[in-house]
Amino acid sequence: MEGRLRKDKLSEDEVRERLAAVDAYEASGLSGEAFAQTRGISYLDLRGWASHAPRWRARLAGQAYTGTGRAVPAFVKVQPSEASAGTGCARIVCEAGARRVQVDWPVSAAAECAQWLRAWLG
């Protein structure tokens, strides 16, 4: 288990060795640092192997690894319907001292709103 190689360049035997070390670590009940020290390996390597273990196990089983282990926010693109696009209003509120102005402008006329704001703000 010597040397640092990219995790995707490991041979199948090297992956199995690292997975065996991760399994032994998880079964030992020791802290990661204590286990790594008893095995003569770097704690950072052990921690990396543990994080890669699910991907390696999937690769050895001939399956695609789809899990990330983390909640990753996903961007969901939504196409607004024609009906909802023309019905909404943008609300613009401006306050200066004791004065307050509120403008509700149809979203369907956003370009005109921008033109009006530019003229109004000078």
Both 21 and 56 in one domain: the answer is yes
Both 91 and 54 in one domain: the answer is no
* Residue at 36 is within a domain: yes
Both 16 and 54 in one domain: the answer is yes
* Residue at 70 is within a domain: no
Q: Tens of pLDDT along 31-75?
A: 999 999 999 999 999 999 999 999 888 888 887 777 755 544 566
For the question of whether the overall pTM of this predicted structure is more than 0.85, the answer is no
Total domains in the chain come to 2
Range of the domain at 97: 85-121
**Average of pLDDT values for 82-86?**
55
* Residue at 68 is within a domain: no
Both 15 and 56 in one domain: the answer is yes
Q: Rounded CA gap, 48 and 81, in Å? A: 46
